[in-house]
Structure 1
């Protein structure tokens, strides 16, 4: 279902554009990840139904040429009676390359990319892997307790706060890693002897003998220490480089602990607050605003009508009736539909919003579509 949900807006966008543009550049409104859909011939040829193909052919055939559009759409010219006497093109010889071209490699790559980056698929895949590992060790079954966090909406919001500003969070963590490396270079060159964690003078335990060990020590000890790396190395009192060591420790504490770690924590906390405010705004809008026309419960329009907001949302602009109307537009064909559905379908084909209700009470819509 996930690829279909992503394909639908792309298909509708391509349907209203000239088919010649499909082979030139992707639509400006499409994200970069959708480039196989707008550039590959296999998408409209193999994955559009005959009704969509017929509408595109009728819409753009006179402008771009019916034969060329029919070829792009993979439609049989003889069935459409475009050229009754034209010779069919010879079929390409069977082979691996022909088979790859026929299945649409670009589209398949895009489709699997959408599937394997979907959160629901990743969660189910995680549970399946833990179930398989649990056959060898029962402790892996404990990972299924994480499903509690996915089943409770409040807990999902908390988890989403970590990934909401994911790009900024990753960039900040990257900056933290770079700053730690700079301090590692300074410590390795000038303060290497201070990183002896052994209590026995005969057997020193040096944590900065090489760059990798020194960097890891700053990463997992210096960052976790409340006062920075200064809490883990010797006191600089009485040392000939006392001033430089004090500057090294204070700047590490200021830049790493006070600034960078605070920024990381602030990003997560702010994201959680933003998501919570968005959910609260949605709940308020559902209770105080009509989802069809946008009129609010305190609007002056209700002063001129003998009914209130509840009557408006239940009778005039009933959300279930509008959803049924739009569902009927998508599922019903040209036979057996009402005149109102014909008008709405024609308006949507022109990408027009003329039939969309504007703010204010309008004519009631009480049509039980099946």
Structure 2
């Protein structure tokens, strides 16, 4: 098939001249099939001359051989724009929570030194407790700065940890005593993040992908119904043909 396709391309190029030939050549080189096969060739060359691990890229060929896996990829890429816009909205919401976190709950996010102490990797790290009872690094120690000491750190920490926690970013933060003046604000903050990001946002992403699967299934059923109930030559449905047929068959 590849050889016949290449021969067809050469025959088309021979009939064209100038800009038309260049346009057809660029269009052919930018096709997904061409780029895909070129990537496989580069991976093979990389496996020969760079590292055998480059051969692992050839494993993606299973997608090209399975219609089911192709539908999985289509379900993600068909509504890629909607997914990207939804994720961009999620990043904006996380940024808002980072602004709140860096100004109100910075100490509750802990630090890299606190994480090491919890994991037993740096038991000699200097840790103190502030007025709210939340563990934090002692000022002037050699330990790392807090996870929410800057807006960028707070944003990255919430983005990487918040969505991976079953209960939201609150699971990755230290607790706040009941008597603390910001206790009510902290409860509202944790619940709002869980409701907006872990419940609504993630389900929107999953819903877009699941709806795409449903659309693909409906399209497939429509095609199969059209093939079994309509004549592909005249376009008449099976009932009409059976009604006017001498044999009564479709």
TM range (shorter): 0.7 to 0.9
Correspondence for 2:35 among 95, 101, 122: 122
CA distance in 2, matches of 1:208, 1:110: 54
Do the aligned partners of 1:229 and 1:252 also contact (CA within 8 Å) in 2? yes
Partner residue, 2:217: 276
**Unaligned stretches of 5+ residues in structure 1:** 6-45, 50-101, 311-370
Kindly tell me the number of residue pairs found equivalent between the two proteins: 214
Q: Decide which structure has the larger Cα Rg and report it.
A: 1
Structure 1 residues 193-208: aligned runs within 5 Å: 193-197=107-111, 198=114, 199=117, 200=125, 201=127, 203=143, 206-208=146-148
Question: Could you say what secondary structure the match of 1:269 adopts?
Answer: helix
Partner residue, 2:44: 131
Structure 1 residues 202-351: aligned runs within 5 Å: 203=143, 206-238=146-178, 239-297=180-238, 299-310=239-250
Question: Could you say what secondary structure the match of 2:100 adopts?
Answer: helix
Cα RMSD, aligned residues only: 2.8
**Unaligned stretches of 5+ residues in structure 2:** 118-124, 128-137
Question: Could you say what secondary structure the match of 2:153 adopts?
Answer: helix
> What CA deviation, in whole Å up to 9, does each residue of 1:51-78 have, x standing for no partner?
xxxxxxxxxxxxxxxxxxxxxxxxxxxx
Do the aligned partners of 2:108 and 2:175 also contact (CA within 8 Å) in 1? no
> What CA deviation, in whole Å up to 9, does each residue of 1:244-274 have, x standing for no partner?
1111111111111111111111111110121
CA distance in 2, matches of 1:110, 1:180: 45
CA distance in 2, matches of 1:115, 1:236: 62
Query: Using a 3 Å threshold, how does the CA distance of structure 1 residues 260 and 47 change in structure 2: closer, same or farther?
Result: farther
Q: Please identify runs of 4+ aligned residues in structure 1 that moved more than 6 A.
A: 46-49
Query: Using a 3 Å threshold, how does the CA distance of structure 1 residues 255 and 128 change in structure 2: closer, same or farther?
Result: same
CA drift at 1:291: 1.6
CA drift at 1:133: 2.2
Do the aligned partners of 1:172 and 1:264 also contact (CA within 8 Å) in 2? yes
CA distance in 2, matches of 1:121, 1:256: 40
Partner residue, 1:363: none
Do the aligned partners of 1:115 and 1:121 also contact (CA within 8 Å) in 2? yes
CA distance in 2, matches of 1:230, 1:109: 56
1:174 aligns with 2:88: yes
Query: Using a 3 Å threshold, how does the CA distance of structure 1 residues 231 and 110 change in structure 2: closer, same or farther?
Result: farther
CA distance in 2, matches of 1:237, 1:186: 19
> What CA deviation, in whole Å up to 9, does each residue of 1:197-219 have, x standing for no partner?
40341546621122222211111
Do the aligned partners of 1:236 and 1:246 also contact (CA within 8 Å) in 2? no
Q: TM-score, with normalisation over the residues of structure 2?
A: 0.75
Partner residue, 2:77: 163
